């Protein structure tokens, strides 16, 4: 809580002018803190008479349970495990190993029992299964109850969800039930030897990479985006076990009734593409975008774009790479006229090889690229296409 020592406060109103959230106001001859306060501490640092301070209303870190284990929440898609589940298990296993902890996985859904043994083969120590007809479709109330039950029993220090539409609905509700914090859309996670989870994600419009910790509450919860982490590798895990759990009938109840499910036609997503040529604002015009498409076609790949191209209406949102678009992990990524802003770069670090074409040798994209071509894309792109066409013709 942001507090004000009214004995020290001179009502100079400097705090009101520096607050970026408009969360302070002068009323009834005192400074009032509004709900918009984000505890950014700018006012605390800038108060000329040190009248502002943050008061902790929570328990001390020492008072929290001595939990260490890691729990991941599996996700299903069209009756099978969503591939993001193996990515969460991979990250969860890595962190559990670092702090000598166990890894649990909760699987909720009709038919989920048949996947229990499978996740054990990827490093899960305990698979908690909730397999019931009522859980066939995602309905937030029973799913929340299931995760909450496992948290009460397993007492994990860390809980990981996928930053998918389901994970993004479920995680905040579970966090609220557990009265703990949640960091959404993390791009990196690190665990300290004391079990503290460092949740890293861009903040303040992507201008900083924030390291967020949850020192006073357990479990620590985060959602991670698909294609950001390496999937788990199979490993022998003697002693691992599947544990079937039941939800009480009242916990299965839901105000949501699923009347019908219509499957979307399968989308060819850049998230799954092995070769991507990404166009940025530097291409300048639509004609050059056609050249980018030609290069992608010659390489048997897909076209991705940066956000400005979507905003300009030159490309579809589904082609956008980045924090507000898709994360990608292709074998080859060629960027053309892309500066490499953090909102773009943070989502391409899983690419095996990145080749960047940019005429600015200091462009940030060269920090993440493995190969850089410094020069005018209007010269490099046609030359590349020409060479590739020759190679293809020769191969035929
Ligand atoms: C909350 C938030 C979320 C965002 N999410 C995303 C996101 O998901 N994806 C995303 O892409 N952006 C996102 N952005 C925007 C991001 O900050 C950048 O503005 C954007 O990525 C820049 O796109 P760009 O690299 O195409 O353009 P620019 O930054 O304008 O870069 C163009 C580059 O082209 C080079 N260039 C110009 N002419 C030539 C030439 N003839 N030959 C070679 N090189 C040339 C320039 O040197 C420059 O480096 C987000 C921003 C915010 C605030």
Is 280 a pocket residue for ligand 1 (Cβ < 6 Å)? yes
**Mutation to probe ligand 1, out of 208, 343, 374 (largest number of atoms < 8 A from CB):** 343
In a domain, residue 261? The reply is no
33 in the same domain as 96:
no
Ligand 1 geometric centre to CA of 18 (Å): 30
Give pLDDT tens digits for 87-109: 999 999 999 999 999 999 999 99
Give pLDDT tens digits for 11-21: 999 999 999 88
**How far is the C-alpha of 151 from the C-alpha of 303, rounded, in Å?**
42
CATH number for position 68: 3.40.50.620
Expressed as residue numbers, the domain containing 243 is 62-252
Closest approach atom of ligand 1 to CA 280: 26
Q: What SS3 class is residue 14? A: helix
Determine phi and psi for 88, rounding to 5 degrees.
-65, -40
Is 270 a pocket residue for ligand 1 (Cβ < 6 Å)? no
Is 328 a pocket residue for ligand 1 (Cβ < 6 Å)? no
178 in the same domain as 129:
yes
Q: Contact, 31 vs 44, CB < 8 A? A: no
Tell me how far CA of residue 394 lies from CA of 209, 296, 298, in angstroms.
47, 19, 14
Closest approach atom of ligand 1 to CA 376: 42
Give pLDDT tens digits for 38-87: 888 999 999 999 999 988 765 444 445 567 899 999 999 888 999 999 99
Residues of the chain scoring pLDDT < 70: 57-66, 205-206, 267, 394-396
What is the structure's pLDDT at 395? 60
What is the structure's pLDDT at 65? 54
Residue 62 has, within 13 A of its CA and on its CB side, a CA count of: 0
224 in the same domain as 108:
yes
What is the structure's pLDDT at 61? 43
Ligand 1 geometric centre to CA of 65 (Å): 45
Ligand 1 geometric centre to CA of 381 (Å): 18
Query: Where is 393: in which H helix or E strand?
Result: helix 377-395
Ligand 1 geometric centre to CA of 385 (Å): 23
145 in the same domain as 174:
yes
**How far is the C-alpha of 33 from the C-alpha of 286, rounded, in Å?**
50
Please give the span between the terminal C-alpha atoms of the chain, in angstroms, as a whole number. Answer: 70
100 in the same domain as 40:
no
**How far is the C-alpha of 345 from the C-alpha of 321, rounded, in Å?**
9
**How far is the C-alpha of 311 from the C-alpha of 98, rounded, in Å?**
43
296 in the same domain as 243:
no
What is the structure's pLDDT at 396? 53
**Number of folded domains in the chain?**
3
What is the structure's pLDDT at 38? 83
């Amino acid at each position: 809580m942001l507090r004000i020592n009214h004995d020290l406060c001179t009502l100079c109103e400097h705090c009101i002018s520096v607050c970026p959230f408009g969360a302070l106001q002068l009323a009834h001859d005192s400074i009032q803190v509004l709900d918009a306060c984000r505890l950014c501490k700018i006012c605390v640092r800038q108060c000329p008479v040190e009248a502002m301070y943050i008061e902790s209303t929570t328990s001390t870190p020492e008072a929290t349970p001595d939990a260490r284990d890691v729990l991941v929440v599996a996700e299903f898609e069209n009756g099978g495990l969503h591939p993001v589940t193996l990515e969460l298990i991979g990250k969860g296993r890595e962190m559990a190993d670092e702090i000598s902890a166990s890894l649990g996985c909760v699987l909720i859904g009709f038919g989920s029992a048949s996947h229990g043994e499978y996740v054990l083969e990827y490093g899960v120590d305990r698979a908690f299964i909730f397999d019931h007809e009522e859980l066939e479709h995602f309905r937030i109330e029973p799913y929340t109850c299931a995760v909450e039950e496992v948290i009460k029993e397993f007492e994990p220090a860390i809980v990981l969800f996928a930053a998918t539409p389901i994970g993004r609905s479920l995680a905040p509700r579970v966090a609220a039930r557990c009265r703990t914090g949640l960091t959404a859309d993390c791009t990196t996670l690190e665990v300290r030897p004391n079990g503290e989870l460092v949740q890293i994600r861009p903040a303040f419009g992507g201008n900083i990479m924030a390291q967020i910790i949850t020192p006073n509450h357990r479990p620590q919860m985060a959602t991670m985006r698909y294609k950001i982490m390496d999937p788990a590798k199979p490993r022998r895990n003697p002693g691992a076990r599947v544990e079937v759990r039941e939800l009480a009938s009242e916990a299965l109840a839901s105000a949501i009734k699923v009347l019908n499910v219509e499957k979307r036609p399968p989308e060819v997503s850049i998230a799954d593409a092995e070769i991507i040529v990404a166009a940025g604002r530097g291409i300048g015009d639509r004609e050059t975008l056609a050249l980018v498409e030609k290069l992608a076609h010659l390489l048997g790949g897909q076209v991705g774009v940066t956000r400005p191209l979507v905003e300009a209406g030159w490309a579809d949102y589904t082609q956008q790479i980045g924090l507000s678009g898709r994360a990608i992990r292709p074998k080859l990524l060629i960027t053309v006229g892309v500066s490499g802003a953090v909102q773009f770069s943070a989502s391409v670090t899983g690419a095996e090889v990145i080749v960047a074409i940019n005429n600015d040798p200091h462009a940030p994209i060269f920090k993440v690229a493995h190969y850089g071509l410094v020069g005018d894309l209007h010269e490099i792109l046609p030359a590349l296409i020409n060479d590739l066409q020759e190679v293809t013709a020769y191969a035929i």
